[in-house]
Structure 1
Amino acid sequence: MFKKILLTVVLLGVLILTIGCSQAKKDEVFFYDKDYNAIASWEPMVTPGGGEGSVDKGDNVAIIKAAPDGWGGVQSEKVTLDLSKHPILLVQVRENQDGLKWGAKFVPSNLQLDDHAWGFYLIEDNNFKWNNYAGVDLRAKLGQIFIDLYGEKVEGAFWLYAAGSPEATVEITSVKMFNQKK
């Protein structure tokens, strides 16, 4: 009888440890994970001229609004990317009005050329929506010329913007990143 109780306790302990370790691994998938609350606190994009949009918190979304010149948005806090790990950017978009567009860019902190102050397209202007994820391999998208200029570890900010009209908006649910390599 004692052996059965001991065996049961040991198996229960192993089960608890297995579940605990599995949960820790699951939570470690994303190295960057911002929900609509965090995105709603982002600041207007800092550009060489124009495009400073705004953001409001909606019903489980961050509503990014274009500037009066017909495009614009907000930027994240500074983020460090390790392109040697082939990071993937995922932007979950709930809504974008028909006929209008949204996009995502990355702006390095340590600009090597003045034109780079306008950022590098990650997700080109599009009308993707319905709570789907738009995703991009950042290393592949930025390319070898970018890596030659900035290195594989680069700090910068993400821009999320609406485009096509002064009334353009895009509703973002989350922004996440994970590495394909360790």
Structure 2
Amino acid sequence: MLNELAGAPGERLLGDAYWSDFEERFWRTSELGFWKLERLQEFQEPTDDSWVASSKGNWPEALAMLEGRREALTQHYAKLRAHGFETWRIRVVEQPLTDYMQWELRLLLMRDELGGHTRVIDAGRLRSYEEDGVLPELITLGEDVVYRLLYDDNGLQQGGVRYTDRDLVVRCQEFVQGLYSEGEDIRKYLAREGMLPAREQH
């Protein structure tokens, strides 16, 4: 996948140019849906109050803030369904989990509960795909576009490279779908790791 993207013509979009392009295209996604491969283990989310709290070690506050998003996320996924598509993510995990991953997995669990389908796959199962380097973070929107997301050295998203060649988009989508099919239900994963909310542990 790295080689395919490296040899394909794409447009580098940074900052507001990326976000405006993504937002406009996102709401025109076909019934084939939004598919995302999340590979990196460390990010910075300075505009996210819950992440900021977690980065300071205040887990109770961070988790309470996440729970406070439930209604907004419920409305978000209802809006997606009204637009005729759904979202699907495959989240790569490495042990030991970073602090960021412990936070993000709880957010992804809520997304999954509300309709943002999410599965988890261990990084060890990607070795055959990563002989030339770590897989990129990818988003496909229907068959129209694939973005290879760009981050700086601190894990802050800078934007993405946009590719619109239909054959490439389809291949990327099928690749992400293949990983998703091999993945584990996020709830089962968190239960096995002892990471479900306390009210759900028996």
TM (normalized to structure 2)? 0.24
Higher strand share: 1
More helix by share: 2
Compute the TM-score of the two structures, normalised by the length of structure 1. Answer: 0.26
